[in-house]
Amino acid sequence: MLFSQIPERSVYAMIAIIAVLITATIIQFIISYKNPDKDYTELRQRTLSWWWIIALLFLFLGMGSSATIVFFAFISFLALKEFLSIVSTRQADRNVVFGAYIAIPLQYYWVAEAWYGMFIIFIPVYLFLFIPMRMVLKGETEGFIKAAGTLHWAVMLTVFSVSHIAYLMVLPGGNLLAGGVGLVIYLLFLTQFNDVSQYTWGKLLGRHKIIPKVSPNKTWEGFLGGLLTITMTAGLLAPYLTPLTQLQGFAAGFIISAGGFFGDVVISSVKRDLKIKDCGNLIPGHGGILDRMDSLIYTAPLFFHFVYYLHF
């Protein structure tokens, strides 16, 4: 049965997230009702997209770990495709790009098998070696270094990093009252809440620019405000949803907040380099899938290894 295998605490966490979303939707309606002459299309689209994201995520989480693994494999596919579409690729490398896509089912198969050793080296070692090898067989040397680097980087960002979220589902033991779903929700919620907190603190108190060349709107006040908020929240939630103690939870929150910041600005730098505003238009009001996943690219592996080192 759908949702029946989700541990109790994770069900409560899901209900809480839906409550947050309902509140946000009501606030959005009030704002646009009070200012009828202003255009809130983007805000409306953004909220509606959140409903879709949460609905899909919860649906797949509810169907169990295999379904969740397939779900994140598909997310990796969309993200990799989006990345490869905005960066330049050589026409001669079409076969190699195809090989990069093949890495997705393989990587998630290791996840499904909970074959940790393979999961952790497949892309950093084997794919790393495979990409230039396949390129050599084609024989095009013009732009070789850039092409090999770009392709491997793309798979590291969109497949290797993202697959860590799925691996949280197959970790044995841990906090049995929340399960793997608890870890996934903990990570995803804190990462997205960190984006919101940094933005809100920045809007409220922002004075000193932190990294003006990349993101002119990011401030020290926003960053530190987010760091404090997420560290506190993470510590409070940790014993409930994860195997972490409260103290370890504070550290996890610190890692998620700082990591999320860097994921965000790394993808911002990519966009600046390519002179584009959004990576795509898959998610109305958000941009492309990479625009939504940017922080997770950093937080997922960092959080995973923190938890893995301490408890598995």
Residues in contact with other proteins by the rule CB under 8 A: 77-78, 81-82, 84-89, 91, 94-95, 97-98, 101, 274-276, 278, 280-282
* Joined tokens for residue 220: 């020290």
CA 249 – CA 58 distance, rounded (Å): 24
Nearer to other proteins, 113 or 273 (CB): 273
Nearer to other proteins, 76 or 248 (CB): 76
Q: Backbone phi, then psi, for 87, in 5-degree steps?
A: -90, 165
Cβ neighbors of 230 (< 8 A, separation 6 or more) are 190, 193, 194, 197, 253, 254, 256, 257, 260
CB of 49 to other proteins, least distance (A): 16
CB atoms within 10 A of CB 133: 12
CB of 278 to other proteins, least distance (A): 8
Q: Are 250 and 239 in contact (CB under 8 A)?
A: no
CB of 288 to other proteins, least distance (A): 9
Nearer to other proteins, 38 or 275 (CB): 275
Nearer to other proteins, 29 or 98 (CB): 98
Helix pair 144-155, 128-138: axis angle to 10 deg: 140
Helix pair 128-138, 94-113: axis angle to 10 deg: 160
CB of 58 to other proteins, least distance (A): 21
CB of 48 to other proteins, least distance (A): 18
Residue located via tokens 């409930």: 240
CB of 85 to other proteins, least distance (A): 4
Nearer to other proteins, 90 or 218 (CB): 90
Apex 16 CA angle, 12 and 20, nearest 5: 170
CA 151 – CA 142 distance, rounded (Å): 15
Nearer to other proteins, 95 or 246 (CB): 95
